[in-house]
Amino acid sequence: MTRLGVDVGGTFTDVVAVDEEGHLRGVKVPSTPDRPDDGVIDGLRRAEETGVDLPTVAFLGHGTTVATNAVLEGDLAPTALVTTEGFRDVLEIGRQDRAELYDLDFERTAPLVPRERRLTVPERIGPDGDVIEPLTDDDVAALVEELPDDADAVAVSTLFSFRDDAHERAIREGIRAAGRDDLAVSLSSAVLPDFREYERTSTTALNAALTPRLETYLGRLARRTRAAGVEADPVVMQSHGGLTSADAAAERPVGTVLSGPAAGVRGAGYLAGAADHEDVITMDMGGTSTDVSLVEGGDPSLTTDWEIAGHPLGVPTVDVHTIGAGGGSIARIDAGGALRVGPESAGADPGPAAYGRGGERATVTDAHVVLGRIHPDHPLGGELSVDVEAAEAAVERDVADPLGQSVTEAARGVLEVALANMERALRVVSVERGHDPRSFALVAFGGAGPLHGPRLAERLSIPTVLVPRLAGVLSGLGLLASDLEHTYVNAVVAPLETEGVDDLADEFGALAAEGRETLAAEGVDADAMRFERSLDLRYEGQSYSLNVPVEGEVSRAAIDDAADRFHERHEAQYGHAEPGEPVELVNARVRAVGEIPAVDVRSDVDGTVADAALGDREVVFDGDRREVPVYDHARLPPGGAFDGPAVVQADAATTVVRPGQSVHVDDRGSLVVSTSHA
């Protein structure tokens, strides 16, 4: 039986297959943004051409950008919002903060739901869960009559519904009883039972607006993959790095907004852990953007404090920092005569000038072609050609001539600007959050990540860079190295020292029971289930919290230990801690995991490093053009070693090893690059 992972990116769609013997193969095809499932089917067909027998596929993991693109492009279903009387404008009021304090032209993002589609009901539940003003059947009937005809979805977010969801459920039942089955209804008590009204309402509204899009896409995808010969039902990567069924993803699509980047982080963490590196910085550089994240102790860093396109979302997500720096990032000279690179990208269509697909503007990829790192003798992805003359012409016209430089100098300048942008991103997730990058390894992947990873490691004094064998399609492997996973939260908001042990144990027990039911519905056996408990804690009066695990059975000692961990984490992240100050419990969380047997992707390549040699090539390093050896990554055997400078060629990614660096190949075929700081 075969396992498949299919990740749809902004530029390419990656397909990775692993069979029972652990044989690993990957293919890369251009994405089809207007209809993403076309790219998925193209990828399946390409995989079939490489020998994958689609009818034997027993597992199909999917990373999707449908939710991401829908939010960024504003392609959302018309949505109505129902809330408590007096709170109609919570989306409009927001937090009254300013992203740019001194920007006089700052304009707040328009609310997800316009005012004319925001409705209220006369009901009220208090902060302790008591019903202050009941919701009557007549109130619900009147509300249903007011629902706009042009709405395709309804978000219901009433006051303190996380304490008692009876009113929200009554509203949903009233909508269904009135025959409005055409409406996708999202309840805040199910989507995000959190005490922050604005974030809860925003998240629920976005979930409702995405539901029709995801239901349509995932339903069509399942039909088309089955017609293509894959009998396995797709499971979808969520933003926090766990998989879920397609049905569950369609009900809670807001949890898939960072589906693709999360898969990449999972894949990087899996291979790094196999190479005995549990603390790593991941760097996924594709054609459009670069995503960086931190993995500590083998677990990705998660956050619930993030937003997309100006809309706050409170669902847990892998803490990914994204910048507009990719292989397709366009280089230009601005009005002041300075060289800029990105965030505008040539994308998949037309792509860089070197691809010969109609692109004319100079990009980061074109700069690498000019410097000899990407060569026409080794087509990208096994198919895309490399037009050196077109790349040189684009760099000369867009950069060299305006700056009065040679084409080589201009190409080096493009890469230096791109590197500076990426270095800042790496510092954001490490130095700015209290982590010393010198104590981490860097995992460089994506189609363009290995081109830049070894140089970035030198700049940040990172001792080790790992480049996976299938670096260009690692997000696809991440889908095969992940478990089914769901997170559950219950707002508590009480002093930690007064929270009863039995009460907290009951909170965790109720959340775990919900997770157990969901996993069982997804076909997970009881002995494959795992439940991890944690607490969101803050100092009394703070507006933000930090998540800390609860180890072992719930006891007063375990709670005190969680408080100690909170102080330590606060010190590491913010530079100070106040152990004498009261600690407040905000939320209790349970992570329900349905374990899937891990894939084993050990390399079975035999031979020597010499067998992988492809000859020499002229490559520019630091302004000097020199002959360097070129190796085929797919033919490098485990245990093989060589010194830089060198270029390692693969179908989906190219690695540039700098002078003074050395490489050895681990048992999974990953390049382990030791920098001069090792």
In the 3-class helix/strand/coil scheme, how is 36-54 assigned residue by residue?
A: HHHHHHHHHHHHHHCCCCH
For the segment 200-212, the average pLDDT, to the nearest whole number, is: 96
Position 177 scores a pLDDT of 94
Q: In this predicted model, what pLDDT tens digit does every residue of 107-146 receive, in sequence order?
A: 788 899 999 999 999 999 999 899 999 999 999 999 999 9
Interval 483-519: pLDDT, tens: 999 999 998 888 998 888 898 999 999 999 999 999 9
pLDDT of residue 384: 67
Threshold 0.85, pTM exceeds: yes
3-state secondary structure of 34: coil
CA atoms within 13 A on the CB side of 624: 7
Mean pLDDT of 445-453: 92
Domain boundaries, the chain: 75-206, 329-415, 484-594
Q: Is the pLDDT of residue 198 over 60?
A: yes
Q: Name residues whose C-beta falls within 8 Å of residue 347's C-beta, 6 or more positions apart in sequence.
A: 10, 11, 287, 288, 328
pLDDT of residue 260: 86
Q: Has residue 310 got a pLDDT over 90?
A: no
pLDDT at residue number 500: 84
pLDDT digits (tens, 9 = 90+) for 563-596: 999 999 999 888 899 998 999 999 999 999 999 9
Please state, for a pLDDT cut of 70, what percent of the chain lies above it: 99
- Residues 607-632: what's their mean pLDDT? 92
How sure is the predictor about 100, in pLDDT bands with cuts at 50, 70 and 90? confident
Taking domain 484-594, whether its CATH number is 3.30.1490 is answered by yes
Lookup result for tokens 């060569």: 375
Complete DSSP assignment for 546-559: EEEEE-SS--HHHH
Strand duo 2-8 + 57-63: pairing: parallel
Helix (H) or strand (E) holding 308: strand 306-308
Q: Which amino acid is at 102?
A: Y
Could you tell me the pLDDT band of residue 26, with boundaries at 50, 70 and 90? confident
Q: What's the mean pLDDT in 68-94?
A: 92
**493 Cβ partners below 8 Å, 6+ apart?**
195, 584, 585, 586
CB count, 10 Å around CB of 409? 16
